[in-house]
Amino acid sequence: MASKKLRNLKIGIIGLGPRSPAQILGTKAVGNAVITAICDCDETRIEPALKRFRENKMKRPRVYLDHRELLADPEVEAVMVPTSWNAHVPIAIDAMRAGKYVAFEVGGACSIQQLWNLVHTSEETGIPCMMLENCCYGRDEMLVLNLVRQGRFGELVYCEGGYEHNLAGMACSLEHQRERAIQNLRRNGDLYPTHALGPIAKILNINRGNRFVSLTSTATKARGFAAAAEKRGWAGTGGHRVFNKGDVVTTVIKCANGEVVTLKHCVSLPRPYSRDCRVQGTKGLWLEDAKGIFIEGFSKVEEVGPPGGTWHVEKWDPVDSYYEQHDHPLWKRFRDNVTGGHGGMDTLVVQAFFDAVRHRAPTPIDVYDCAAWMSITCLSEESIAMGSAPVPVPDFTNGKWIRREPERSSPWMLSEIYPG
């Protein structure tokens, strides 16, 4: 994937927690970029990170314990931020004020005011920020984006997605102050909306001719985390705890153009992993868990039943049967040598960020996307707290969504399909 014609970008990593190995190794996999500095306020994380550099024959970076010192380093031109969720926005704001491009890991917001601060900082400094939402570059998500832009699904009316992942064991990591565990202990909302919502938002042209208008959210009772802790005798929890987070949180979002999006968040009950995506149009749909696509007039329809009383049964086409003709151009380009975590999309999203940095161009996931997607967390909390009352979603573009300038044409663009 690397090109020898490109100069090496100088990248800083702020935060050396569980997601930092993906950032470090992803940077190496992409090529044409070097990590010149790393930072974590927890000094015990420094040496394990440096060991990873040595093991992968990467040059030793400069080390900082204060992210503001790293941001003042002239040998850093852009930063990636795999910190705890609550630190993403404050560090991103500091980075933009320091003139550095910044990309932060996924997670929800703490407050709407925080998101307005993020938007205003990017607008005032002219420096882009990006969420590293890797699922926007997943193969199937990009395949569906391509099919939608070709008109194969007709007019879109409904989308669905979620984060459904059995993480109940994290109830026993409270003594170690694990970020996810603490968030689920104290909050009740969709705490992790963007894996499904990011690709859906791009498919629905959110912030580019469409926007989220309002939402309602509801939560079930909370039993899963307590059950998991009970099995372990409450070891690692610091004693019996009452978890605020309902086992299943369902959020319904209304869009300006009339589409409806349903999101589910479930991380405390036994189940296989799923992002539970569905994209439904007037002519067809994609259903992730069925691993299938159905397009009217193209997909197979069987006639069953006795003579004179037959009926039609629609059949799913396997998603992979669409790869040859309809794979997204980006995946056609890289599918034979894409590397990195989560099927390669970790590397692709980092590559997309680096491309924007190199060209001093807007990022394909911009500050308005970040704010709209992250807002779902605190807005869903608000709705649940008010008995599932409707709450408005702010227009973080301040009206720009009605008629945005076209996205910069590049292989990494997500609003349209790059023709090259």
pLDDT score recorded for residue 286? 99
Closest CA to 328 of 134, 144, 197, 156: 144
pLDDT score recorded for residue 116? 99
CA distance 374 to 391: 15
Closest CA to 397 of 74, 147, 122: 122
Which SS3 state, helix, strand or coil, does residue 164 take? strand
pLDDT score recorded for residue 1? 44
Strands 33-39 and 9-14, how do they pair? parallel
- The pTM of the full predicted model, rounded to 2 decimals, is 0.95
- Left, alpha or beta for 8 (phi > 0: left; psi -120 to 50: alpha)? beta
CA distance 26 to 29: 5
- Give me the residues paired with residue 4 across strands: none
Domains in the chain with CATH codes: 9-135 (3.40.50.720), 136-330+368-403 (3.30.360.10)
pLDDT score recorded for residue 2? 46
- Mean pLDDT for each 10-residue chunk of the chain (420 residues)? 71 94 87 95 96 95 98 98 96 99 97 99 99 97 98 99 94 76 94 98 99 99 92 70 94 99 98 98 98 97 84 94 96 76 82 96 99 99 99 99 96 92
